[in-house]
Structures are given as structure tokens and as C-alpha cells.
Structure 1
Amino acid sequence: MSAGALIRAPIDRRVQDRRVTEPTPPERPVVHVVLTRWKPDAPADALESMRARTRRFPVTVPGVLGVVEGPSSSPEGLEAGYTWALVVTFRDARARDAYLTHPAHLPVAEVIGEFAERLVVFDLDG
């Protein structure tokens, strides 16, 4: 074996070992944004009950890191007719995917589906 090969062998082995032993990078958080415009006849009590459920997601749904919900507070007036937003931050895409069928989410989705006149759902990697 040549001197160059002898020097490279330990380096090559370390590089190869590092590929095997380095931890997989953690998944990125996912931010789930829901914008709605409620139907004029949407019952206030149904909406408030649904909103209270969303605020409990960090306790009731595994992988939910945080929830912010409510009407716009922007002074710009660029809401394009949307009257309420829900922003849920998930640990990763797997947590978001599990949330979609989680029993705590289903009644919220049902109320939104029934009383939203307009709806946008937009997810992005955090």
C-alpha cells in the first residue's frame, strides 16, 4: 500500500463512520394556517365553543407546540374579507398529519366546515 493510501485510509474510514453515526437532522416544525369568513348566520355559541377547543390543542393533541386564534388585529385592513384565523404550530409534519384525524380536531373541522363561508388552509415549514 502506498504512503498516500495509508494516510487516506483512516480519513476515509472516519468520513464513512460519520455518515453512519451522525444523527438524522430533526424535522422542521410545520405551521398550519386557517383563514375563514363566517357565514352571517353562524351561531356565536358554536363558534366560541370551537375556539375554546382549539386553544386546548397543545394539551389534547400530541405534537402541537402552540395555538393562536382570533380575529385580525391588523391596522392595514388587508384581510380580504376573512374574519378569523387559526394558527397551529406542530413539532413536525408527522404531528400535523396525525392531527388531521385526531378526535380533538374533528369537531373543530366540522364547525369550520359548516359555518365558514370562505376558507383557506395553508401549511408551511417553520
Structure 2
Amino acid sequence: MIRHILFIQFTEDVREKDVASIFMMFREIKSKISGILSVECSKNNSPEGLNKGFSHCVVMDFVDEHARDAYLPHPEHETLKQQFVPMIKDIIVLDYEV
């Protein structure tokens, strides 16, 4: 299984309703692309203050590397990116094998 994590810093003009809309698109993509096991999206609530400006994250689990690799160029992912990328000030993407 491959875990795909996005640490997100949104631009200052992005509203919570915009974030909610993008997170809904992430959750819905699971039913549109095979090989996605789960999708979780949330806002940071750590009291440690070590998030370095990253306020939200998305965690996706894929059955394997092939599923993740098929997701990346998939038209549904491209549609999501068209909405998502303009909202991003900074992002970290980390994948690892579980």
C-alpha cells in the first residue's frame, strides 16, 4: 500500500468554504479512480506550533504504486488540480510504502 500525503499552505485569500469544496473533490475522487483505498482531509489542530505555516493536509491510501502512478495523470486528478493549484501558497507531497 502507498500512502500519499499533501501538507498544504493555502493563499491568504482562500476561504474555508473554498477549502471545504476542494476537500469534497478529493473525497469524491475515490469513487472515480480505481485503486484508491481511502481519502482523509483536515485542518491542523496541533497545539505544538511546528506546522511551519502548513494548515491543512490530505492523506490518500492507494493499493500499490501502480494505482498511485495511474492516479497522477488521470483526467479526474487533472480536473481537481485545475481548481486546487491556484489556491496553494506552498505544498509538500510525501509518499511512502505502508
> Could you say whether these structures have the same fold, taking a TM-score greater than 0.5 normalized by the shorter chain as the test?
yes
- Whether the 8 Å contact between 1:33 and 1:87 is mirrored in structure 2 is yes
Tell me the equivalent position of 1:36. 8
Q: Describe the superposition over 1:24-51 as per-residue Cα deviations: whole angstroms up to 9, x where unpaired.
A: xxxxx11101111110112544432221
What letter matches 1:75 in structure 2? P
Q: Describe the superposition over 1:59-88 as per-residue Cα deviations: whole angstroms up to 9, x where unpaired.
A: 111000001111112232211110110110
Following TM superposition, the consecutive aligned residue runs of length 4 or more in structure 1 with deviations greater than 6 angstroms are none
**Is 1:66 the counterpart of 2:15 in the alignment?**
no
**Is 1:49 the counterpart of 2:21 in the alignment?**
yes
- Whether the 8 Å contact between 1:38 and 1:116 is mirrored in structure 2 is yes
Tell me the equivalent position of 1:109. 81
Q: Give the total of aligned pairs.
A: 98
For structure 1, the 5+ residue unaligned runs are 1-28
**Is 1:124 the counterpart of 2:96 in the alignment?**
yes
C-alpha distance in 2, partners of 1:91/1:59?
Answer: 14
Higher helix share: 1
Across the aligned residues of Structure 1 and Structure 2, the Cα RMSD in angstroms comes to 1.5
If asked which structure has higher relative contact order (CA below 8 Å, sep 6+), I would say: 2
With the length of structure 1 as denominator, give the TM-score of the two structures.
Answer: 0.70
For structure 2, the 5+ residue unaligned runs are none
Identity %: 28
Tell me the equivalent position of 2:51. 79
* Structure of higher CA gyration radius: 1
